[in-house]
Structure 1
Amino acid sequence: MPDKAYIRATICFWSGTGNSYRVSNLMGKIAENSGLETHILSLDKARSTKLSNTEKKGFIGIVFPTHGFTAPWHVLKSVWKLPQGNFTHVYCIATRAGLKFGSVFIPGISGSATFVISLILLLKSYKVCGTMSVDMPSNWYSLHPIQTRKSHEAIIDRAEHKVTGFMNKILSQSKVWFTTNNLYEITLGILLSFVSLGYLLFGKFFLAKLFFANSSCDGCGLCEKHCPVKAITMWGNDQRRPYWKYNCESCMKCAAICPHNAIEAGHSWGVILYVITAFPISVYLFSLFGVDSASIGQFGASWIGTAVNIFYFYPAIFVSYYFFNLLIRIPLFNYLFTHTTMTHLPFWGRYREPKTKLKDIA
């Protein structure tokens, strides 16, 4: 151990379905068993708390999920709002969507996630000493059916071994930068940077507007109460239904905790929404204002056409979703959209980290 060993650890997490909480909890237990004064708190609470490690005798761990091969908007903003670091040691850990097919483990990709957060922390005068990404069970039920409990346990077991090794390096105050894992992530992060940017600017909003409640919803409001970014509001008086706002992070917490499995990600609705938002409005406007057909293609492909299409995207997606929510309050339309989305299939499932209780991530 170094001469000036750590005496305390503060692990900050942001978690929707419990994966990042499970990792932060494991880190906290290892630190506590090593004799460190240990605190585990949500990243949102850390924003308004004077972190106790500023005298350089402790370290901070930042644990968060991966969205779109990078860090979620909410995590980016929360880290930016942390108090100044005073060169406190920090380690960044991103959980990523792991899958298992038979005996084969398919790693996720956190891409630029830990590196972007590290850069923000450096700008805030923290001393970033290392990063790691770790596979946890994928919770993205909008894209694929949730895997079996046995697969989840196998993925989590591998994650625990990896986190333990990472914590051993932290406790010895080793730098954790030049690893195969980090080389894998930064390479893919660069290659997928346009995907990540597209997700943060467009995909995030599109995916959030796929959610709706089927007829099993009883309007209990549990999803609204526990949404980590307050992105759900209950609509209606006699028939209360959740409505997802612009700041939804698609963390899947609402779907994971719904007692009736009432929250769907509408695939048929997604096709309709894509057609609406992908409409080449710039071409239509140019023709409306008398631009000749030979020039329309040039204008449409120019920065002017791109800007017009972008400015169209946001109101189009929000207005469409507003009317969609009015429509699905009619039982016939709710039935049609519910039974034309794969998330309603009986085997599809929802994911919540097996050992994480709702109060842990409330």
Structure 2
Amino acid sequence: MCKYLIHYFSGTGNTYHMVKTIESQLISRGFEVGLLNIEKDKIRKLSDYEFHIFCFPVYGFGTPSIMLKYILKLKASVECKAAVLCTSAGAEGQSLSHVKYILDKRGFRVFLTDMVIYTYNFTQILSPQSKEVEEKVFKHAEIRIMEITKRIINNEESFKKLNTIALAVSWAVFIMFINLGRRILGKTFIADDTCIGCGRCEKVCPAKVISMHNGKPKWSSNCESCQRCINTCPQKSIQLSVIKLTIFLISELAPILIIMDINKYMHHLSILVNIILYFVMFAVGTFIANLLISIMERLCIFKKILNISYTKGYRRNTAKGFNIK
């Protein structure tokens, strides 16, 4: 009997739903299945399983950093067959090819990569889709997963690929997102006046970037941008701070405007010099933005201003059956 091990990370439950659907399909066909939640489960002996399935959501056209760090720790002593599956609201970016490359280097033989479309839960920016839309999308997702599972069982080789231009663009977006975007977005979270200081957000954060200060959560700069905190807060207290976001956007755009102005008067600056200038000014701008926000958070006069948000009326959403304790 073939044994399958599903390695997975799920931010708000879409990937978890996919994993449970795959598990039920494999079990119904008589296979033994193990589930490994990379957030809390210990790495198992890889050679005990003939097949490995890696499942994760797509963030910023790429693979979550928590999943990449996990995969880089693995090393197959004997060749293990593997499939790579991601969930996305529409585009997998470079995630599948990236993970396939890493796993191939770690001793696995990846024979299948694919993506399943789910609803988006990027509540920090967009209000999640309605329950009616979600139900339709999930039903379609289940059909897709059943078809993919059959191909996995039959050991059919197939790879979902992007064209060269789309791959290059997605790599550029992903590099910016994983090194900068997710960190800034994490710092723009706030807990409004409805927060009761229950600490649930701190407990469920997979990146462990939330800590409680004076009964309120505070985010550090290594946010995964999984949206779990904003979607699972029992009081719906977690919001996007418009003021914080504005401050960070200014810190990003200001260096570009300054460099454009400098180039008006100094026409012989090379591209390399311009790039160095930008990163130096960007680092300084980010430091000043963080310092300014830190000062504002300490002064009562600014607390109401920092709480200005447009996400208060947004629907919160996690996939059915997804419970984080």
Distance 2:164 2:321 in 1: 31
1:110-154 deviations in Å (ceiling 9; x for gaps): 110111111111111111111111111100012211111111111
Aligned-partner residue type, residue 227 of structure 2 = M
Partner SS, residue 269 of structure 2? helix
TM-score of the superposed pair, with normalisation by structure 1? 0.81
Q: Who is 1:274 aligned against?
A: 249
Change over 3 Å in CA distance of 1:310–1:271 after alignment to 2: closer
1:64, 1:71 within 8 Å by CA — same for their partners in 2? yes
> Helix, strand or coil for the counterpart of 2:158?
coil
Residues 1:90 and 1:199: Cα distance change in structure 2 (over 3 Å): same
Of 173, 177, 202, which residue of structure 1 is paired with 2:180? 202
In the alignment, residue 208 of structure 1 is paired with which amino acid? G
Matched, 1:306 2:278: yes
Aligned to 1:17: 12
Residue 322 of structure 1, CA deviation: 2.6
Aligned match of 1:234: 212
Distance 1:54 1:265 in 2: 45
Deviation, 1:82, is 2.2
Distance in 2 separating the partners of 1:319 and 1:247? 17
How many residue pairs are counted as aligned between the two chains?
A: 323
Q: Is 1:70–2:62 an aligned residue pair?
A: yes
**8 A contact 2:122–2:227 mirrored in 1:** yes
CA RMSD of aligned residues (A): 2.6
Which of 257, 280, 295 pairs up with 2:266?
295
Report matched runs for 1:175-186 at 5 Å: 175-177=157-159, 182-184=160-162
2:294 counterpart residue number: 322
CA distance in 2, matches of 1:67, 1:185: 19
Residue ranges of structure 2 left out of the alignment (5+ in a row) = none
CA distance in 2, matches of 1:313, 1:170: 49
Deviation at 1:263, TM superposition (A): 0.3
Q: Does 1:192 align with 2:179?
A: no
- Measured in 2, the distance between the counterparts of 1:271 and 1:296 equals 31
**Aligned positions of 1:246-265 closer than 5 A:** 246-265=221-240
Identity %: 23
Structure 1 residues 216 and 313, CA gap change in structure 2 (3 angstroms): same
1:165-212 residue CA offsets vs partner (Å, 9 max, x unmatched): 0000001111122xxxx2357763333321111112211211111101
Matched, 1:352 2:324: no
| Counterpart-to-counterpart distance in 2, 1:185 and 1:230 | 36
Q: Which amino acid aligns with 1:251?
A: C
**Which one of the candidate residues 39, 49, 58 is aligned to 2:50?**
58
| Contact preservation (8 Å) 1:110, 1:185 | no
* Change in 2 beyond 3 A, CA 1:335/1:175: same
